[in-house]
Amino acid sequence: MLNGPLLAVNCYLFLHFFFALHFHIVVQLRIAGHPAIMDVAEVMNLSQRYKIGTKFLTQWLAKTAQERCKDKGSLPVLLQATSANNKAILGLTTKDRRLLAEVILKSSNYWHQPPAELNNVIIILKSVIAGRRECLLWYKSRGLESNRNKDASHTYFVDQLDGILQVLQQVLRVYDQKSSQTKSNRNRNAKPASQTPVKRFEEDLDTFITDIDHDSVLNSFTAVGNALPSLEDASDGIHQQPHIVERLAQPVRTLISNMPIESDDDAAFSIWCLLKEYKQVRELVRGWWGQYIDGQISIRAAADSTNAAFHYLEKLTKRFNADYPYISTVSNLISYLDIELVITDSHIRYLRCQSKTLRTGDSEDLHALDLLCPLAMCFLQIFRALAKGSTVEGHDTAPAISLMEHVSNIDDIIGVIWIISTNLEPRIADSEWRKHNPLLDWFTRNILHLWESAEAPLQLLPAMQISMEIRKALENRSMAGSSASIAVIQNVKNTLETLNQTPEAVASRQKLHGYIRAVLDLSGVHEKEYPIRPEYDIFPRWLESNPVLASCVASNIMHEAYLYGIGLCNHQAAVLCMAYLYLASRYTGKLQNPWVDMDTVIMEHGKQSFKLPDTPSGIPDMAALAKCFCISMGVNPKSFLPKEDRSRQRRHDRSEPISSEIQLPSPAERGPFNHVKSTCHHLLTSAGRQPLPSEFWISDKGVEINDIFERFVQSATNADSLSSNTMVKERKKGRPTIHKCTTSKQILSQYHNMTIADEERINFNYASFASVCGAILDQMFKGMRDFNSSLLNFSTPQDMVNTILWDEVYSEAIGNKRRPKRTCLDVFVDLFDEYSENGSALTHQAKKFVTGETYQKIDDESLPRPPTAFGITMTMNSDMLKLSTTSEGYRLLQARRVRKLALRHSTK
């Protein structure tokens, strides 16, 4: 049960939180009008994480050995000086690391406590060894003669790390045996371990280790996959100290971007790490489309997440290219790895890696090159060669051309790319058109760029493989993406035709028309007549074969329609007025059946700001509800305090409880109603709730679908500032929350979950909902005059709702014996009954889309009826305007209301 002051104060916030369009964090991320770009250093790639692990091991060995060694002469030369610093540590060799581990083992004879973070270091070391060993085996499986020297060096390095692991495990066993002795046999006066390295490395490990679970040892090394030892394997024979276990269970607190990274040029290992992350992203995307095929999610959610994955691949690759600019394209990678593509008889026969030939029909051999995305690599090289008009790696282009003509007859994305490339229209080839068209997805932009630059960037390799796998997985659902886009366009068109225009929604409406025209332009259909007729096949084969592009088209239009609907909801605070009328009728029990669509809107946008109870019975009284409405319309809360309380508040400058005494504010006290006239520029999330993807969109330049993922990552990588209590509440509600993440799987999985959670909001038809609210308010305006025209005259919808609420308050104050049989609120309940049958239609429709059902065309009859005079007949009457804008006139109106009420009660 909420008290009046709490409800009133929180309701005042509603005007600022409800349906405004731009998350405040997003504003801070924009610089000089440009979209915020994710700092690539914020998200560490797999190679960085492995190198950080190796560097941390070296620093720990050096500092621990220096701390515990009695004979400084046994240390490596670089560490024998008392002034040895991190620069000296960086100069240590692999052999020096093994020596340091043996020094630590010898120190266990006279140190009675184990080194700080020994358990954690062993876990990190096991993960590093597992990843390095997997990389080594992969290169060996290719059988490259020229890499034998590199493989031998890498083998020696892994063997040395394994030797260090054996020594540290022996150290752990020594201290485990000591801890099993009784306390009476221990030396109570033994020198305790110094806290200098402990403090430092506890802090470093807290930044390095993210989370420990039963599926992987370190999330920092999650991309190693099954090669990572399990927690049980990593902790075999280890009795972890309680303080270490507790720290391991804590989430990461800060990024370790300031930790040194190995400076050696280990391109081979970095390539393997990059390809490994490519594969992890591919598997993740494959799982998303499996969810769509199983009917768990919609095609829009799968496509939006895939498009975000493409952007993430580009970020990872840019980080790699900064370190190795000479391996920035697919051709550079093929040259570095000595791969030869062989095409004969219009077929890709095999890939040749010097001494080892991997034929396309040999699945076991191809498995060794799965990281390379061999089929995508072949086609990208063919496209590159054809774009340049040259040969394919020394071979004549004739077999390649014959091959592509053969493939183009198959319903496959490769064939469609071939058709586009051979019939490329000048407007599509134009880089400016490609750059500024808001509907193109990442993959389409880069494919078109390939024909302009004649080079395939490295990130296009996994993207091509992903697109081919999606196309193959869909099989008989090849038209799913374009069908969804057509349905979305038709639904939006129907809604636009049903609604009257309002001045505040014109801009967003024009954007919607512009987006649909952009679809026409993209598809090559140049029609001047509007609207689009559903029987037109407006999408070419490219849209039909690329579900990600088709779904991104749908997403753009859906998000712009969402913003357009929010703008209509803001118009004259129609939804806010209806929300209070609905809550009042539910509280009084006059409305028995819930309005599901309104409950959905309040829950999504207003519940946290309102702090409303889950049930109408939680509302304290009608007076409190009426006061809340006034405050949400701009009335000063102090105006509801008794006079003595107001003077005391001015003297002590502190808030006082709002009196239960009914006292209407005068216009001088409240000022004009603060109408919500936002044109969708400031969407603020409800208090205490994490932002959903739809709340990262900008609307001043239209929806920017290619920018949302970077904004999301900014929030995810800065999630430490989020309240832990808020996260707990969100988990209880079942809504996913943003938490700290640094790995590919963490970031993409979290974005995918948030996209799914956002589906119902985006699919909810806010424009139709605003139409319903406007229609009911319009009918209420007429019904109130018919009910008692001499008593009720209104200048704005807010004035009408304010009068209805206070009329109900006075009716309750009169008492049961004198209470009228019918009040103004009864008029609302009677009118609302006409809409009650369809009161959950919009919510059910939105939920249908979320469950993965095909987007269906909405019949015109099923749309809510449009307002007959919303924003037109509800204009200010000149006489009422004069009365309502003066203090004396307002008091005169209220006195007239009281007299009429008394007269009505006396005659019944």
Summarised one tens digit per residue, pLDDT across range 366-385 is 555 678 887 788 778 777 77
Which range has highest mean pLDDT (519-533, 593-607, 626-640, 678-692)?
593-607
> Taking phi first (over 0 means left), then psi (-120 to 50 degrees means alpha), and beta for anything else, what does residue 687 get?
beta
Q: Of 107-111, 321-325, 349-353, give the range with the top mean pLDDT.
A: 321-325
Which run of H or of E encompasses 358?
strand 356-359
Question: Is it the case that residue 236 has pLDDT exceeding 50?
Answer: no
Q: Which 3 state secondary structure label does DSSP give 700? A: strand
Sign, CA torsion 647/648/649/653: positive
* Six-digit token string for 203: 């802090």
Alpha-carbon distance of 596 to 839, in angstroms, equals 6
In our burial notation (b when 16+ CB lie closer than 10 A, e otherwise), range 603-617 reads ebbbbbbbbbbeebe
The model's pLDDT over 117-170, given as tens digits with 9 standing for 90+, comes to: 888 888 888 888 888 888 877 777 665 544 566 667 777 778 888 888 888 888
Residue of 472, 466, 454, 427 whose CA lies nearest to 314: 466
pLDDT at 644 > cutoff 70: no
pLDDT of residue 427 exceeding 60: no
Q: Where are the domains of the chain?
A: 46-180+192-248, 330-457, 693-762
Q: Which residues pair with 356 in a beta bridge?
A: 353
The answer to whether 312 touches 748, Cβ cutoff 8 Å, is yes
User: Residue 457 forms beta bridges with which residues?
Assistant: 329
Range with the largest mean pLDDT of 35-44, 362-371, 629-638, 718-727: 629-638
Residue that wins the pLDDT comparison between 50 and 415: 50
Residue 453: what pLDDT?
76
Q: Please determine, for residue 116, whether its predicted confidence score (pLDDT) is greater than 60.
A: yes
Stretch 535-545: mean pLDDT, rounded? 51
Judged against a pLDDT cut of 70, whether residue 728 lies above it is answered with no
Q: Is the pLDDT of residue 641 over 50?
A: yes
pLDDT band at 66 (very low <50, low <70, confident <90, very high): confident
Comparing 80 with 761, the larger pLDDT belongs to 761
Burial label for 230, CB within 10 Å (0-12, 13-18, 19+), is middle
Mean predicted lDDT score pLDDT of the chain: 61
Residue 281: what pLDDT? 92
The arrangement of strands across the sheet holding 356-359 comes to 340-344, 347-353, 356-359
Please give the DSSP secondary-structure letter assigned to residue 457: B
SS3 455: coil
At residue 342, the 3 state secondary structure works out as: strand
Q: Of 22-36, 105-119, 227-241, 360-374, which one has max mean pLDDT?
A: 105-119
CA distances from 244 to 119, 178, 227, 360 (A): 8, 18, 24, 50
Q: Which of 131-145, 171-185, 602-616, 833-847 has the highest mean pLDDT?
A: 833-847
Give the per-residue pLDDT at 16: 34
* Position 516 confidence tier, pLDDT thresholds 50, 70, 90: low
Identify the pLDDT of residue 210. Answer: 33
* Separation in Å, CA 804 to CA 3, 7, 124, 670: 22, 19, 68, 18
| Residue 487 amino acid letter | A
pLDDT at 851 over 80: no
Cβ neighbour number for residue 176 with a 10 Å cutoff? 13
Closest by alpha carbon to 557, among 508, 594, 603, 604? 508
Distances (CA, A) of 724 to 478, 714, 719, 740: 44, 18, 10, 11
Distances (CA, A) of 632 to 6, 628, 636, 658: 13, 6, 9, 15
Which of 303-307, 635-639, 663-667 comes out lowest in average pLDDT? 663-667
pLDDT at 169: 84
Nearest to 154 by CA among 50, 274, 7: 50
Four-point Cα dihedral 584, 587, 591, 597, nearest 10: 70
pLDDT of residue 343: 55
**Residues 384-407, mean pLDDT to the nearest whole number:** 54
Tell which residue, 633, 561, 575, has the closest CA to residue 604. 575
Q: Is a pLDDT exceeding 60 seen at residue 490?
A: yes
Listed range (44-48, 285-289, 585-589, 617-621) with the worst mean pLDDT: 617-621
340-344/356-359 β-pairing? unpaired
Question: Do the Cβ atoms of 566 and 601 come closer than 8 Å?
Answer: no
Percent residues over pLDDT 70 in the chain = 43
